[in-house]
Amino acid sequence: MARRGVIIAASRFPGRRSFERRFGVCKTQIRIIPWAALGRAVRWQRLKMMRSKVTGARRWVVKIGSALLTADGKGLDRKAMAVWVEQMVALHEAGVELVLVSSGAVAAGMSRLGWTSRPSAMHELQAAAAIGQMGLVQAWESSFAEHGRHTAQILLTHDDLSDRKRYLNARSTLRALVELKVIPVINENDTVVTDEIRFGDNDTLAALVANLVEADLLVILTDRDGMFDADPRTNPDAKLIYEARADDSALDAVAGGTGGALGRGGMQTKLRAARLAARSGAHTIIIGGRLERVLDRLKAGEHIGTLLSPERGMLAARKQWLAGHLQTRGTLVLDAGAVTALSQGNKSLLPVGVKLVQGSFRRGEMVVCVAPDGREIARGLANYSALEAQKIIGQSSDAIVGLLGYMAEPELVHRDNLILV
């Protein structure tokens, strides 16, 4: 059995100074500390903090993966779905506003078609999704109806969230459904998307939905008990990570692994989802979906799973929308001065700070801003096309008119349309 442990960001920890003296951790360091090594008072403080973040959350987004909704790949498991519904109804009755992100359409379609392995061809996956989505939604609707709850189906694509007007429409619709005490059931519209424009997995979709509805808590249910400091399938000494900040770089080294046969999302995608959700101030719980009555236990404050917390507060609404842009059209390579300026926050990117333009993009499309060593610093909406940008980079804003014959904006990317990563 895996031993339990916890990642502690010492600078954020109650009673930090005594903790540092005991474990030799300075405020800029992060170490994995065995849970049993923490004193009773420290454990109590951590547990209290954890419970308040979860039990006090008013709006939850719950993501349930394919493996938790199917019977060993043989179609939808109605009994398992009924148990999930019972727990979600209990949350609803306790005053939690709930949004469900449900995988399972492709798996359900594969079962109906008699396929035993996930196809690789896009048209076959889309056909399976089209067939399975009908059964998936019907199963959720009938199960919730037994408890007097209404559901609403929403199928999203990346274009729905990257277009500002459609994004706002989707947000308004979801807010209206939540206010009506209807439970939205969300999935990616697999039948129309392509590899170039898909979210990639429902973990990412769930994080973007959390941003969309300004959720307090994102619950990602998986086939593991949470995140571990090593792979528990191969390392019996692997320790469960109880809590960390979502942006802790120490987590990247332990988030290896891929998704199962029915789904696309491994632990890396779950960590990325937690970081996306953190942009809107949401906490994320990564937790084993096979634990008995897991949602009930979370609401009761039981200390299970891995809690990933945002480093800073909620972004402004427009920047939450920008954070949801997964598709970028080009890259701007910055000089050291521009990197420093952007890193300080609330700064626009001027042409003089850009050394190189890569890719093809139009005005208003998303571009990535990288440091000279290739690290992504920020991303934002370009005020100029790639061809225009190539002519003005390295120059002062006063020179734009002379170089182009006009000046749309003095900035290459305005601070209102730029988000640090």
Annotated binding site for ATP: 63, 222-223
CA distance 392 to 389: 5
CA distance 143 to 158: 29
Q: Within 10 A of 281 (CB to CB), how many other CB atoms are there?
A: 18
Count Cβ neighbours within 10 Å for each residue of 370-388 and write b for 16 or more, e otherwise. bbeeeeebbbbbbbbbbeb
Eight-state DSSP code of residue 406: S
CA distance 5 to 31: 10
- In this structure, the strands spanning 283-288 and 330-334 are unpaired
Annotated binding site: 63, 103, 190, 202, 222-223
CA distance 181 to 98: 8
Residue whose C-alpha is closest to residue 283's, from 202, 214, 201: 214
Annotated binding site for substrate: 103, 190, 202
Number of H helices, E strands in the chain: 14, 16
CA distance 418 to 341: 13
